Amino acid sequence: MGEYRRPRGLREALSILSDGPWRPIAGGTDIFPARAHAMAWGAPTPENLLDITGIEELRGVSRGADGNWRIGAATRWAALRETVLPPGFDALRTAARQVGGRQIQARATLGGNLCNASPAADGVPPLLVLDAEAEIASREGSRRLKLGDFILGNRRTALMAGELLVALHIPAHAAESPSVFLKLGARAHLVISIVMVAANAAGRVAVGSCSEVARLWGAEGGLSPIDDVRATADYRVAAAAELVFRARESLAA
């Protein structure tokens, strides 16, 4: 068995992380299913877990004096669902209502969704549309990256050893632009996305589940979906185009 720690402050957490191989854990809704799967196949799971849910600085949504917004990385989907926010956040709040079911939303965090870096992570397209930046910290200091530079590929992020995702930062102008989120799955609820689209009235559109990392529609590289158990690549491309159309129609209406 590995060790378990639950620090109450960011400084303490970063100090523990700098000390050796600790894995941050927030809601555990990605970590524990993966561990159960690995253990079922006989793999040892000795990693040390650093529970970040006790750290106040990592939670909540706030607005700075400059009008820009900050979302703590350990903010739960349920909190995003319930918080009253300007229309730019409508896409993110709609995604919050559709991640898993109520039990998942009560535990799982936005930061966990981003750091897990699944191509089907519902949090990514709404944050791309919001032009979000990721704030990362280690004991040595902090840095910021555009979300598109933070998530590098399937299950790959720019996080280095000793670093935590601390918050997402959203510029004031993006928060005011009405937005929508449309998710297509094999059924209406409790489903992993086949395709999802976020769009805002300023013309930003992002598509997820159609490439290793969700992308801005029309951006270089385009869509590169795969065939998998949920859908074929051709179906995904056609569905993405339809959802983009519907998202734009919805915003125009």
Q: Which is nearer to ligand FAD, 138 or 176 (CB)?
A: 138
Q: Which is nearer to ligand FAD, 109 or 179 (CB)?
A: 109
Q: Which residues of 161-190 are buried (b: 16+ CB within 10 A; e: fewer)?
A: ebbbbbbbbbbeebbebbbbbbbbbeeeee
In the complex, residue closest to ligand FAD by CB: 112
By CB under 6 A, the count of residues binding ligand FAD is 30
Based on the shown chain and the rule CB under 6 A, indicate whether residue 135 belongs to the binding site for ligand FAD. Answer: no
Strand partners, 196: 183, 208
Based on the shown chain and the rule CB under 6 A, indicate whether residue 210 belongs to the binding site for ligand FAD. Answer: no
Candidates 80, 46, 44; CA nearest to 62 is: 80
Based on the shown chain and the rule CB under 6 A, indicate whether residue 122 belongs to the binding site for ligand FAD. Answer: yes
Binding mask 15-54 for ligand FAD (x = CB under 6 A): --------xxxxxxxxx-x------------------x--
Interface with ligand FAD (CB under 6 A), residue from 16, 91, 108, 132: 108
Based on the shown chain and the rule CB under 6 A, indicate whether residue 237 belongs to the binding site for ligand FAD. Answer: no
Select the span of 79-87, 98-106, 139-147, 234-242 touching ligand FAD (CB under 6 A): 98-106
| Residues 152-191 close enough to bind ligand FAD by CB under 6 A | 159, 164-165
Total length of the chain: 253
Min dist. Cβ of residue 99 to ligand FAD (A) = 4
Min dist. Cβ of residue 95 to ligand FAD (A) = 8
Angle at 49 between CA 48 and CA 51, to 5 degrees: 155
Interface with ligand FAD (CB under 6 A), residue from 88, 112, 162, 225: 112
The Cα 174–Cα 216 span in angstroms is 15
Q: Which is nearer to ligand FAD, 57 or 176 (CB)?
A: 57
- Contact predicate 236/223, CB 8 Å: yes
Q: Which is nearer to ligand FAD, 218 or 243 (CB)?
A: 243
The Cα 169–Cα 32 span in angstroms is 28
The Cα 95–Cα 126 span in angstroms is 8
138, containing H or E segment: strand 133-138
189, containing H or E segment: none
Q: Which is nearer to ligand FAD, 106 or 202 (CB)?
A: 106
Angle at 212 between CA 188 and CA 159, to 5 degrees: 110
Candidates 213, 207, 211, 209; CA nearest to 241 is: 207
Min dist. Cβ of residue 253 to ligand FAD (A) = 26
Residue ranges that bind ligand FAD, judged by CB under 6 A:
23-31, 33, 52, 73-74, 99-100, 104, 108-109, 111-113, 115-116, 120-122, 159, 164-165, 192
